[in-house]
A and B are shown apart, each in its own frame.
Chain A
């Protein structure tokens, strides 16, 4: 056995936009163990909900208060959800390209993401913070001409994304960095509770959108899975989900009913609700309990990144030191989300 050394990775690292720290135990160039630690940006959501209004997490509050939102609002939420998925996956593809040193590919991914942000700005008023949901529906409607313009833009964008994904899926430089790296087997994915594309890349068919929240119940889509369980497979799953999102948006725009976009909600939530949602990074879990006042009693948010950290530790075991940045990236970490 060669000499072991510990290399600290993060919380500041070029590949990481957010602080997570890993102690990497190395034997020569091989990682034998990774010890994660988080907590650099914890904000204490559990306490904050007790003194700040609950104007976030609309869906959960609506479930507590038994509010049925209008159908049009459901479809609008679905469309915005899928647009978020598009921009999140394009962002991730760009970061991945950046992580293995393919700068121009990174630029092109983010150029396309920019178009989606512009659409968000035109439809909600915000590029990143949309604040378009309210308890009982949505604040802003998208009229049909706007929706049609968006669909046209997505049609055009789909062509461009297809060219880009050719590079991801067929270029040998990409394949060399991703294929066979960071294998998380189906059994391990179950054991470590992986979620989202991380889990689906291991061949597990599970997608919380199939629960049919918002308008997903009316929309026809298949769960996308990968088979190789490696980083390349995760990349492939996310690319396929981009095209699936285009498809879902087209279906939603075709089916969207006319009508109001919100209902009035009176009173404060009293009771509890537990909700699972499929975010771009995977399944998020929300639990809230209200006590009939304008503040909540309890709040728990488990983000997909939190659920994927055990899997990350698993795939880091036995990998090359040089692959660590890419493996950290393949779980699509959002540390700020994790540390509520």
Chain B
């Protein structure tokens, strides 16, 4: 190739080739299947939640819930597919064909057929019937906006109204059907925290067992606690008044009080807290190990094989969590002697090799047994009405029998 006429070869070749362009729009182009040509909507299934409008980077989509319309500015749409990916009802999709070229800006409006959308829905937001709610968290998990917060431990259900788009998915997913799309936004059943925003936690040291659960739960590390010297102090600079310690205390000895009361030094010597130790009623105990698993101190040892329930009295902080967690309610804290509880003989009339057996005539296939099983040994299929126990997994704990609301499970 010399420095003159370096392009001649290319020009000559191009002379005898077919045109590189084609006669659009007279000749239609074949688009590959992935082409995002235009956005289409299945308007009849649209719930007008408005998430697509929020996700649209070029603000091309407008959703009007009251009129039941969904409109898109075809010139503004950049076919990024954010709306399609974000649609909770999957009514949006992309078509390979582009919209026809036009000389004016076109806004395509789709209206849902049927009268029910024309009724004034307002900004309906879900309200929770707290009497029925089991705080399962399914509504929060399915909320496309993350607007719902469910805290099982503190039994709270909260809705962030600034985030809620009234899509109604939570009401669909609620297994207890305790959510309703109410119109009254002010009807907020969320229980307010039983303390002020500046309140500091204060422990009633006469009841405190220094288990340390509050200190480990504190997100700020504001609680200093020493078991040996019986010290419990809140660092008021670190405390953010969240009240988590208040909720987590197994002895309910923490109160949220105003700063003055909290910091007032009261010479209140801790009472002798070491008397009350848990004791299992071994006639009832099925050695499910839930008490040991939940012990914050690791003071409990449960050996299923040898049917031993053992308490390390030195490690026990008498927090009572084992009592709360026991599915058979066979642990008692009222007895004061620790010695009796250690290394007991197994005296239960209960056959520890017994397998659960459901009376399928009474069974409603609710699945509560399956969920309660610590070993996931039970499979319940509601549709096919089957109830199966995996014999290998079963640890014969009988929690299923205990939990069954129809009392149709028997240990045989």
Contact = CB atoms under 8 A, between A and B. Distances in A.
A53 B54 contact: yes
Contacts of A84: none
A124 interface: yes
A129 interface: yes
B36 A53 contact: no
A125 B10 contact: no
Given A121-B34, A125-B35, A125-B94, A167 B7 contact: yes
B43 interface: no
Interface of A: 52-53, 55-56, 104-105, 108, 111, 114, 121-126, 129, 131, 134, 139-140, 163-164, 166-167, 170-172, 175, 268, 294
Contact of B11 (A104, A122, A124, A139): A104
Contacts of B14: 108
Give chain B's interface secondary structure class: loop
Interface string B1-30: 111101101110010000010000000000
B20 to A, nearest CB: 5
A236 B369 CA distance: 73
A131 B81 contact: yes
B32 A121 contact: yes
Nearest to A56: B57
B36 A125 contact: yes
A291 B7 CA distance: 57
A55 B82 contact: yes
Contacts, number: 63
Contact of A53 (B9, B11, B55): B55
Interface in B59-84: 78-82
A166 B6 contact: yes
Interface residues of B, number: 28
B80 A131 contact: yes
Given A111-B20, A170-B6, 15 more contacts: A53-B54, A108-B10, A114-B20, A121-B31, A122-B32, A122-B34, A125-B36, A125-B81, A126-B35, A129-B78, A129-B79, A131-B81, A171-B3, A172-B4, A294-B146
17 contacts: A52-B57, A53-B55, A104-B7, A108-B14, A111-B20, A114-B20, A122-B34, A125-B36, A126-B35, A126-B36, A126-B79, A126-B80, A129-B79, A131-B80, A163-B9, A170-B2, A294-B146
Interface string B145-158: 11000000000000
Contacts of B9: 163
Contacts of A105: 7
B85 interface: yes
A52 B86 CA distance: 14
Nearest to B14: A108
A129 B57 CA distance: 12
Interface string B36-66: 1000000000000000001101000000000
Nearest to B146: A294
Closest 3 CB pairs of A and B: A125-B34, A122-B32, A131-B80
Interface in B351-399: none
A140 B34 contact: yes
Interface string B95-113: 0000000000000000000
Contacts of A123: 34
Q: Max chain B CB contacts within 10 Å: which of A114, A125, A268?
A: A125
A139 B34 contact: no
A131 B82 contact: yes
B80 A167 contact: no
A122 B32 CA distance: 5
Contacts of A129: 78-80
Contact of A166 (B1, B4, B80): B1
Contacts of A111: 20
Contacts of B54: 53
Contacts of A131: 36, 80-82
Residue among B7, B9, B34, B81 with most chain A CB within 10 A: B7
Nearest to A131: B80
A121 B146 contact: no
A100 B55 CA distance: 43
B35 A121 contact: yes
Contacts of B3: 170-172, 175
A68 to B, nearest CB: 22
B67 to A, nearest CB: 25
Contacts of B145: 294
Contact of B85 (A139, A164, A175): A139
Contacts of B78: 129
A124 B35 CA distance: 7
B385 to A, nearest CB: 33
A265 B144 CA distance: 14
A206 B10 CA distance: 35
A125 B20 CA distance: 22
Contacts of A122: 32, 34-35
A139 B82 CA distance: 11
Contacts of B80: 126, 129, 131
Nearest to B31: A121
Nearest to B7: A167
A171 B7 contact: yes
Contacts of A134: 85
Contacts of B55: 53, 55
Given A131-B80, A139-B85, A124 B6 contact: no
A124 B34 contact: yes
Contacts of B31: 121
A170 B57 CA distance: 45
B57 A167 contact: no
A167 B79 contact: no
A331 B35 CA distance: 32
B79 A164 contact: no
A139 B80 CA distance: 12
Nearest to B81: A131
Contacts of A53: 54-55
A53 B85 CA distance: 13
Contacts of A52: 57
Of B9, B32, B94, the most chain A CB neighbours within 10 A belong to: B32
Nearest to B10: A163
A85 to B, nearest CB: 21
A234 B1 CA distance: 22
Nearest to A134: B85
Contacts of B10: 108, 163-164, 167
A29 B269 CA distance: 93
B141 to A, nearest CB: 10
Contact of A171 (B6, B81, B82): B6
A108 B20 CA distance: 9
A170 B1 CA distance: 8
A53 B83 CA distance: 12
A111 B20 CA distance: 7
Nearest to B58: A129
A162 to B, nearest CB: 10
